Amino acid sequence: MQLARTREELWSFTRHWREEGLRLALVPTMGNLHEGHLALVRAARQQADRVVASIFVNPAQFGAGEDFHAYPRTLDADRRKLADAGCDLVFAPGDRTMYPGGLEDATRLLASPSLANPLEGEFRPGHFDGVVTVVARLFNLVGPDLAVFGEKDFQQLLVIRRLVEDLGYPLQVLSVPTVRGQGGLALSSRNAYLGEEQRTAAELLNVVLQEAAERAASGSAGRAAVEREARRRLEQAGFRVDYVALRRAADLTFPAAGDRDLRILAAAWCGPTRLIDNRPVAGV
């Protein structure tokens, strides 16, 4: 497995691969990798000839007071995991490679307001603008035929699909279902912030969302009642809830009668750690 730090090093590999007519996949990450990330790499491996994983902690998507400086940087360990998962190239740029003129003077994109402003956007304003800004740069630099993202960040997945559609990128976006630990907690790099007791308590988030999805699918309760009960259970267990929302999976709007493709999404704090998760609503 190769390592590229600069644009020129990256291009020396990708140019050669494209000349050979090989299909390229990109797996964007911020590092501190876990099994969820590696599942993306393995999915990419099945559909492409070469897999590029990027590792870049993107300052543009962190808000004031968030954990940008504390976010774990574990490049050596990440490289070993990626090699075992079948990655061909790690692109690990510095800030000046991604933002040559500096972040404050960088050209930026704005995410689709209808997808970016609700839910996460209410609590992390500007977050998805930072996401689409860096993802567009990665698409431009790598030139992939395929990009792979996890469904745990479901709203982000929709935002990126719209980015690809709006800007006409000639690539396929592949989504991979959320990978969970033994107790059902969605794997996340930020789970490392959880203490042992908090990690056990955090498993309730998945349980509550699964039960809420089943209630919604059964038709035994309307949207507001499903959301209200899920919030009540989480708060009763000590979570600080940002949102619990039952939405159309296609565009995060409120479901209407007859909608059959729904998601229940939540963000909640377990101690000092903010967790996000979602579940599909089956059989609506």
The conformational region for residue 24 under phi > 0 = left, psi -120 to 50 = alpha, else beta, is beta
The CATH superfamily of 189-281 is Pantoate-beta-alanine ligase, C-terminal domain (3.30.1300.10)
User: Mind telling me the catalytic residues?
Assistant: 37
Q: Low-confidence residues of the chain, pLDDT below 70?
A: 283-284
The string of DSSP codes covering 189-254 is GGGGG--HHHHHHHTHHHHHHHHHHHHHHHTSS-HHHHHHHHHHHHHHTT-EEEEEEEEETTT-PP
How do residues 28-56 score in pLDDT, each as one tens digit? 999 999 999 999 999 999 999 999 999 99
Residues of the chain with CATH 3.30.1300.10: 189-281
The string of DSSP codes covering 176-189 is EPPPB-TTSPBP-G
pTM here is 0.95
- Domain 2-176, CATH among 3.40.50.1980, 3.40.50.620, 4.10.490.10, 3.40.190.170: 3.40.50.620
